[in-house]
């Protein structure tokens, strides 16, 4: 009977403790805390709604010219209803959710390490949210004996935190070790891991300062032992000082008799809600690190400050969810499901722009497409990031959003022109984005907006006209481009050409020269003549020649050159240089048109 009464007493204390846990983090102005939480939730929900509406509004592809937002919304609802009603589509949906969303089979097939990293971050964070953030609403209801300071909950929470941290560190390490062009890094690629790591680390630090805090110990003793008598509390203090790492000042003596009394008091009042802090595998090393400093940090009220930081970072993550890369948590599963139901081209015309807009949000910027892209190595020579599919996607998003940046759209046009539509990016994209369809749609959009493929507008002037423009235009400076990679500045280095003996082999093997009936008329200069001009430091003349634009980069000239001159690389670099200057001219001219008056040369001379 006595034992059962004790257990019942402990249980009611445990429940009371559960409801009072947050109080032991220090007194918080609850109105402010609740307001921040609700505000974050409202921003999050409003943001999600905005993104969903945007899916039906963003014009991506030629079909969007003919269908408005309402028909697109209806088409999306029809497709969704058909998926839920038709057994075949429903089966495909369930299969995709299981294999592609829950198991992440696409990533597993590509790399086990990447899959493990992804799973650690995703499931670690998801379980932390379920088990820890919503402990009152979920965990306490599922487990009647739940207390956050009790095992296995305390151990599991710390283990999940370690999973997220290890995943974040591994993801950053991989991003650093796999370099451009295979993977590029944007601010958002670093911000999201930093945010997740910040949440976990502040949580661990908070737990560590709570463990060593004598103030929290006093509060708990006062609430549950209901004693203010120092002599009665002293054995419990000694026991908690030794076994629970509470940093009392001065430290109590650990006399064996006192410790036995402390153990008895602990079993009576505390054991039902507290496991030893060594089980907090993430926070415990921090406990050992800060315990010697406890005297110095005692007055800082760190439990309160860290609680605020942890809480506010978590609210920030919630509010940013629809406006950051985190949104792929919604968009990527939708994209995978849509892909499983068929390619975008087989969808109704009214639904295609919506699918494409949704795909733009599903990209995680993982760079897998770059690794498989047939033309990614060209980025090493033409430093146009829009050649890489992961970056081209950003250009497509800018174009669809109506961003006014002519130079960016010209770069996108060049990237689209270089793409061979091999479909490898689509096949390997872990988010299931139909990239090939996006490229076709964006190319049509570019053409419609006047950003034809580069040779379309370059061909409007003869080589000598371009050479003249390049020489005389005030905005065409031959300075170093931010996109130009320093290791491929061949054209300005005399060592590149000094060995050329003008043997004409490069010209004789060139298929472009061979295909021309009159090379002087069609190409103006042959590869050998260009090499000669470069030797004579007449780069500006060589820059504008048609040969530079007509070279198909077959590398025959370079392979056959008896002197190992990098003929094809030089031609590529010249084209890149000319293109960069033309973009610069065009952009500045547009800026001038909107404000100042351009004097020389006339706008017409460089207008595409």
**Which residue ranges make up the site for ligand SF4 (CB under 6 A)?**
363-369, 372-375, 389-390, 393, 419-425, 429-431, 433, 435-436, 500-506, 509-512, 527-528, 531, 551-557, 561, 563, 565, 567-568, 571
Specify the residue, 175 or 266, whose C-beta has the smaller distance to ligand SF4: 175
| Number of neighbouring beta carbons within 10 Å of residue 150 | 20
Place of tokens 């990447």: 114
Whole-Å CA distances, 1 to 13, 140, 269, 497: 18, 27, 18, 99
Task: Tell me the closest approach of the beta carbon of residue 366 to ligand SF4, in angstroms.
Answer: 4
Task: Tell me the closest approach of the beta carbon of residue 19 to ligand SF4, in angstroms.
Answer: 43
Task: Tell me the closest approach of the beta carbon of residue 96 to ligand SF4, in angstroms.
Answer: 16
3-state SS record for 383-437 = CCHHHCHHHHHHHHHHHHCCCCCHHHHHHHHHHHHHCCCCCHHHHHCCCCCCHHH
Specify the residue, 420 or 597, whose C-beta has the smaller distance to ligand SF4: 420
How many helices (H) does the chain have, and how many strands (E)? 32, 0
3-state SS record for 166-186 = HHHHHHHHHHHHCCCCCCCCC
Specify the residue, 122 or 555, whose C-beta has the smaller distance to ligand SF4: 555
Specify the residue, 150 or 506, whose C-beta has the smaller distance to ligand SF4: 506
Specify the residue, 252 or 430, whose C-beta has the smaller distance to ligand SF4: 430
Quote the DSSP letter at residue 28.
-
Specify the residue, 287 or 373, whose C-beta has the smaller distance to ligand SF4: 373
List the end-to-end C-alpha distance of the chain, in Å, as a whole number. 94
Task: Tell me the closest approach of the beta carbon of residue 281 to ligand SF4, in angstroms.
Answer: 33
Place of tokens 């026991």: 239
Q: What is the CA radius of gyration of the chain?
A: 33
Specify the residue, 90 or 190, whose C-beta has the smaller distance to ligand SF4: 190
Task: Tell me the closest approach of the beta carbon of residue 425 to ligand SF4, in angstroms.
Answer: 3
Which tokens sit at 138? Answer: 């979920």
Task: Tell me the closest approach of the beta carbon of residue 500 to ligand SF4, in angstroms.
Answer: 3
Specify the residue, 240 or 428, whose C-beta has the smaller distance to ligand SF4: 428
Residue count (the chain): 608
Task: Tell me the closest approach of the beta carbon of residue 446 to ligand SF4, in angstroms.
Answer: 15
Task: Tell me the closest approach of the beta carbon of residue 328 to ligand SF4, in angstroms.
Answer: 8
Task: Tell me the closest approach of the beta carbon of residue 483 to ligand SF4, in angstroms.
Answer: 19
Specify the residue, 210 or 390, whose C-beta has the smaller distance to ligand SF4: 390
Q: What are the backbone dihedrals phi and psi of residue 34, each rounded to the nearest 5 degrees, phi first?
A: -65, -40
Specify the residue, 190 or 554, whose C-beta has the smaller distance to ligand SF4: 554
In 100-185, alpha helices (H): 105-110, 112-128, 140-142, 153-177
Sequence-separated (6 or more) residues with CB below 8 Å from residue 259: 235, 238, 239, 242
Task: Tell me the closest approach of the beta carbon of residue 424 to ligand SF4, in angstroms.
Answer: 4
Which tokens sit at 505? Answer: 């082999």
Sequential DSSP letters for 446-459: HHHTT---HHHHHT
| Number of neighbouring beta carbons within 10 Å of residue 126 | 13
Cis peptide before 501 (omega within 30 of 0): no
- Inter-axis angle of helices 389-400 and 406-418, to 10 degrees? 140
């Amino acid at each position: 009977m006595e034992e059962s009464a004790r257990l019942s007493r402990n249980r009611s204390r445990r429940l009371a403790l559960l409801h009072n846990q947050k109080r032991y983090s220090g007194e918080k102005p609850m109105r402010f805390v609740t307001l921040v939480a609700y505000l974050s939730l409202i921003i999050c929900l409003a943001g999600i709604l905005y993104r969903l509406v945007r899916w039906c509004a963003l014009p991506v592809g030629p079909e969007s010219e003919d269908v408005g937002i309402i028909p697109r919304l209806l088409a999306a609802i029809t497709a969704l209803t058909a998926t839920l009603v038709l057994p075949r589509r429903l089966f495909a949906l369930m299969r995709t959710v299981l294999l592609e969303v829950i198991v992440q089979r696409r990533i597993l097939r590509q790399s086990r390490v990447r899959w493990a990293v992804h799973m650690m971050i995703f499931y670690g964070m998801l379980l932390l949210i379920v088990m820890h953030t919503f402990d009152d609403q979920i965990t306490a209801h599922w487990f009647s004996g739940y207390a956050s300071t009790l095992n296995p909950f305390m151990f599991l929470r710390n283990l999940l935190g370690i999973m997220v941290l290890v995943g974040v560190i591994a993801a950053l390490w991989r991003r650093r070790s796999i370099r451009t062009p295979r993977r590029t890094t944007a601010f958002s690629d670093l911000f999201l891991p930093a945010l997740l790591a910040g949440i976990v680390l502040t949580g661990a630090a908070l737990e560590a300062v709570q463990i060593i805090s004598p103030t929290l110990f006093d509060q708990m003793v006062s609430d549950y032992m209901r004693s203010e008598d120092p002599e009665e509390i002293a054995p419990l203090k000694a026991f908690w000082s030794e076994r629970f790492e509470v940093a009392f000042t001065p430290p109590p003596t650990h006399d064996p008799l006192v410790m036995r009394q402390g153990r008895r008091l602990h079993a009576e009042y505390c054991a039902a809600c507290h496991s030893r802090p060594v089980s907090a595998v993430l926070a415990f090393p921090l406990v050992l690190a800060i315990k010697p400093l406890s005297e110095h940090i005692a007055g800082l009220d760190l439990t309160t400050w860290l609680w605020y930081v942890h809480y506010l970072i978590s609210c920030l993550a919630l509010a940013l969810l629809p406006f950051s890369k985190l949104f792929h948590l919604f968009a990527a599963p939708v994209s995978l499901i849509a892909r499983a139901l068929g390619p975008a081209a087989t969808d109704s015309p009214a639904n295609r722009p919506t699918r494409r807009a949704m795909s733009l949000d599903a990209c995680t910027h993982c760079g897998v497409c770059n690794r498989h892209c047939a033309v990614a190595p060209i980025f090493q020579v033409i430093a146009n990031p829009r050649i890489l599919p992961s970056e081209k996607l950003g250009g497509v998003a800018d174009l669809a959003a109506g961003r006014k940046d002519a130079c960016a759209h010209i770069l996108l046009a060049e990237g689209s022109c270089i793409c061979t539509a091999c479909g490898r990016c689509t096949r390997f994209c872990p988010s299931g984005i139909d990239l090939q369809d996006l490229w076709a749609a964006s190319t049509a959009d570019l053409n419609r907006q006047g950003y034809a493929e580069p040779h379309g507008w370059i061909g409007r002037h003869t080589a000598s006209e371009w050479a003249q423009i390049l020489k005389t235009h005030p905005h065409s400076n031959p300075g170093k481009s931010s996109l130009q990679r320093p290791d491929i500045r061949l054209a300005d280095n005399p060592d590149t050409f000094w060995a050329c003996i003008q043997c004409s082999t490069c010209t004789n093997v060139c298929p472009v020269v061979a295909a021309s009936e009159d090379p002087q008329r069609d190409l103006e200069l042959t590869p050998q003549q260009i090499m000669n001009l470069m030797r004579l430091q007449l780069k500006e003349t060589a820059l504008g020649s048609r040969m530079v634009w007509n070279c198909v980069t077959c590398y025959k000239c370079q392979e056959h050159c008896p002197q190992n001159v990098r003929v094809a690389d030089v031609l590529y670099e010249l084209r890149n240089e000319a293109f960069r200057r033309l973009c610069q001219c065009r952009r500045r001219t547009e800026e001038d048109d909107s404000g100042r008056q351009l004097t020389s040369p006339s706008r017409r001379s460089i207008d595409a």
